[in-house]
Chains A and B, each alone.
Chain A
Amino acid sequence: MASSKKPVKAAKPPQKKPKSPAVRGAVPARRVPEPDVAKADPRLFDPLTPGEIADALRTLTEDRRLATMAKVGRYRVICTEPLVVKPPHWMAGHRLVRVVAFDYAADRTVDACVDLDAGVVAHLELTKAQPMLSRDEEALAVSIAMVDDRVREQLALGDMPQSTLHYWGRSPDDLAFARRSAAVVFGRGDGHASIVAIVDLLENIVTQVVPAELW
């Protein structure tokens, strides 16, 4: 193990182009002291209270950029967690909430940072990325799979849903390549898996049923 007392001798930085004469003669700029990350307030990382979550969701759904999403109402909040940004960002020191939602009507993800101190959506990204499944989506996927005839035909006595995972297909031929999907694994209580059912969460249908050993 390297000694923990000696400073590490860094490798030489990459060679840079020679500076122009004008720059070479310039007086080096003074290093401006930066805001100290060591003085960050740990309470900003604390779990959100129910009131803070409600505040963040109200602020988000009242934002004009998300008016359509809020009006149509086909979205699910995936998670809400505290977010802490580093100085010198202007939001450093503010109580922030990261809200991630999936907008089914637009088939897109809403990834927002709500500044509770200012009462605004401070950062908003609308992307085609897909966040994890919410607990509601997991429960929905199980309920859809449980009533599917192909699934029921293949279930053995004692089989039950073991877990629900966020799945996406590898090939464009696979419906789950671009569409929000869940994999419901069925099996026995001892951990042995029997079948995998892929559920399309946009149409609420089972698109594949595969014996676990062939997955």
Chain B
Amino acid sequence: MSNVITEANWKFHWRLTESAGIMIYLADYRGRRVLWEASLPYVTIDHQHEALEVEGDPGDVHGPWWIPLGTRTLQGPVRVQSFRGGVELSAAFAAGPYNYTQLWRFHDDGRLCPWLTIYGPGIHDQHTYHPHWRFDFDLDGARHDAFERFEDAQWQRVEREGWFPYSGEADDHGNVWRQIDVGSGAAINIRPHSWDDAEVFAIRYHDGEWAPYSPRSAAGAQTFPSAYVGDESLDGDDVTLWYVAHVHFSQSFPYTAGPWVKVAGFGA
């Protein structure tokens, strides 16, 4: 199977990684570069105890754990399928009581869906999934980016690196964050799933700050991507975005987490 797909106004490459699921790289929409690379570096899981009384609640006693989504947990082949108005990649991963289907869906109107369907019982009901996606968008070149969030009823430019949770406020189309190429005016709009309890980390790109092979930083230190967040300026530079969802298990599973991403400002 070729790892380059040209369909639905998109041209992109993919490969299966050792730990970050299916990685998409060098993606163009209508002949213009959108993405350098994007992947799902990890899905951490933590557990809670069901305590009726606050006094007796020990809190989170145990730490989180995770298992790589990659060649060692892949179930069957990576599938490439066309659908009306687009093309999608999907792959199923299993690790004991945890099951996932990773999806990358490309629509001909510029939408891109990096999604993860989560199912399986877990080891008990009280657990929460934290899928982490990393996007290195290069709209019309790597630099001259700006990052904005919708806040106080308008788009606000974000000057410096940071963590930006979804506050419940969105523009008319449901978009909460966006990355803009200042030179061309093209943009990537990000609309979270309403139930993802999502947040975005905006980080200035640095060689060496590649997708880590674990969320685990040094003992007691912030995990990644928080460990990458400093106080650097974003405006006009190359920006990397992390989208993190927090999904508590419920009986209504399976649940599909992940944002809608849409390219805007690209002429036909």
Contact = CB atoms under 8 A, between A and B. Distances in A.
B98 A163 contact: yes
Contact of A2 (B13, B17, B262): B262
Given A4-B266, A42-B26, A128-B218, A14 B159 contact: yes
Interface string A122-135: 01010111111001
Interface in A32-73: 34, 36-38, 40, 42, 45-47
Contact of B216 (A123, A168, A171, A187): A168
B132 interface: no
A176 interface: yes
Given A13-B146, A34-B143, A123-B208, A86 B36 contact: yes
Nearest to B154: A11
A8 B157 contact: no
Given A162-B97, A170-B63, A177 B219 contact: yes
Contact of A10 (B37, B47, B146): B146
A191 B121 contact: yes
Given A191-B96, A193-B97, A215-B62, A129 B109 contact: no
Interface string A171-215: 110101110000101010001110010000000000000101101
B224 to A, nearest CB: 8
A169 B62 CA distance: 6
A46 B159 CA distance: 36
Interface stretch (B64-72, B82-90, B241-249, B250-258): B64-72
A12 B186 contact: no
Contacts of B47: 215
Chain B interface residue bracket vs A? 35 or more
B102 interface: no
Given A40-B26, A83-B210, A164 B219 contact: no
A178 B159 CA distance: 35
A165 interface: yes
B110 interface: yes
A25 interface: no
B235 A4 contact: no
Contacts of A191: 96-97, 120-121
A127 B154 CA distance: 42
Given A45-B25, A191-B120, 14 more contacts: A2-B262, A3-B264, A4-B268, A11-B154, A45-B37, A86-B205, A127-B217, A131-B214, A132-B213, A166-B214, A166-B216, A174-B62, A193-B122, A215-B47
Interface of A: 1-14, 34, 36-38, 40, 42, 45-47, 78-79, 81, 83-87, 89, 98, 100, 111, 123, 125, 127-132, 135, 162-172, 174, 176-178, 183, 185, 187, 191-193, 196, 210, 212-213, 215
7 contacts: A4-B109, A45-B25, A163-B95, A165-B45, A169-B62, A212-B123, A215-B124
